[in-house]
Amino acid sequence: MSKRLILNADDFGLTHGINRAVEELHQAGALTSATLMANGPAFEDAVEIAQRNPGLGIGCHVVLTDGIPVSHPADIPTLLGPDGKTFRSSLVDFLLAVLRGRVSERDIAREAHAQITKLQRAGLDLTHVDTHKHTHTLPGVARPLLFVAERCRIGAIRSPFEQSWSLAVAHADPVRRLQVRLLQHLRKRFEALPQVRQGIVATSDGTLGISATGRLNHETLARLMETMPDGTWELVCHPGYNDRDLDAVTTRLRASREVERNALLATFADEKNPPHAHLIHYGAIGPFARLREVNQFEPNNGHETFV
């Protein structure tokens, strides 16, 4: 069994500086995939970058916390915060609301569908979906997200769980590491969901770098690559430029975005270093992989009716 690695940047479309980093890294051979935020302030710029870089796999970074929904607020009331217009600003508040049954799976499906189809209507062939802050670790989020992914002909989803070997070498913040470990008990429930179990929506063997978010430097990335076993893995990263545009948005990741950008360049763009794995994007796995390979896959156009 060989090693295959998806290098995916989250938050594509959040700022022009993040978009610029995504394009530069992809053209340098240090990024294969990016997940685009349908409600990001730099959405149109990200779409243009995706269209002129057809080798870059594009997913939908479904946002259910922090920000403005794509759907009309009246259509997704259980997803909204106290103002009745925007999502809950607190991840903890959102997760607790889901666990207490206060968030409708129908509302999640409707908003996920709105975000996905916005990207498809822009002419993008989506290789996969994931969620902002990995909210689909909860079955109450993963279930409607998979329902929509299947109907939108999206063949892959991020596994929002980090492997024990990755946790061991990432040297993450102890609180962050504990949080990631506590969520591991949900993995079997995620893998038992019918779309994942039956391979209707594929996933990787696991995701690297979740616990190292905000601390993913060259040394940590080198350790992850040296330790990585055979299999298909995703490295989740958040590269960008720490500029004025970033100052204008809500994010805890600022200076670390440039650290990650430099780490990716140092690890993957140096032609003197042998490849750590066969670099792919999510379009190379799942039920539509062969069709994409022979240029026979016809993605949804984003105008299909939500059921």
Residue 32 lies in a domain: yes
Measured in whole angstroms, the distance separating CA 48 from the mean position of its chain's CA atoms is 19
Identify which has the larger pLDDT, 262 or 274: 262
Average pLDDT, the chain: 94
Residue 120 CB contacts under 8 Å (≥ 6 apart), including other chains: 126, 152, 299, 300, 301, 302
Residue 261 CB contacts under 8 Å (≥ 6 apart), including other chains: 21, 24, 25, 239, 240, 241
Mean pLDDT over 163-169 rounds to 87
Range of the domain at 255: 3-293
Q: What is the CATH number of the domain that holds 283?
A: 3.20.20.370
Contact 248, 42 (CB under 8 A): no
pLDDT given at position 273: 67
Residue 299 lies in a domain: no
Residue 227 lies in a domain: yes
Task: Find the helix packing angle between 255-268 and 218-227, rounded to 10°.
Answer: 50
Residue 300 lies in a domain: no
Q: Per the structure block, which two tokens stand in for 81?
A: 């915060």
**Other beta carbons within 10 Å of 128:** 28
Task: Give the Cα separation of 197 and 216 in Å (integer).
Answer: 31
Residue 61 lies in a domain: yes
Residue 282 lies in a domain: yes
DSSP string covering 246-302: HHTS--S-SHHHHHHHHHHHHHHS-TTSPPSSEEE-GGGSSTTHHHHHTT------S
Considering only 4-8, 217-221, 227-231, 269-273, which range has the smallest mean pLDDT? 269-273
DSSP class of residue 123 equals T
pLDDT in tens, 11-48: 999 999 999 999 999 999 999 999 999 999 999 999 99
Residue 302 lies in a domain: no
Residue 68 lies in a domain: yes
> Considering its fold, how many domains does the chain have in total?
1
pLDDT in tens, 104-115: 999 999 999 999
What is the SS3 assignment for 134-173? HHHHCHHHHHHHHHHHHHCCCCEECCCCCCHHHHHHHCCC
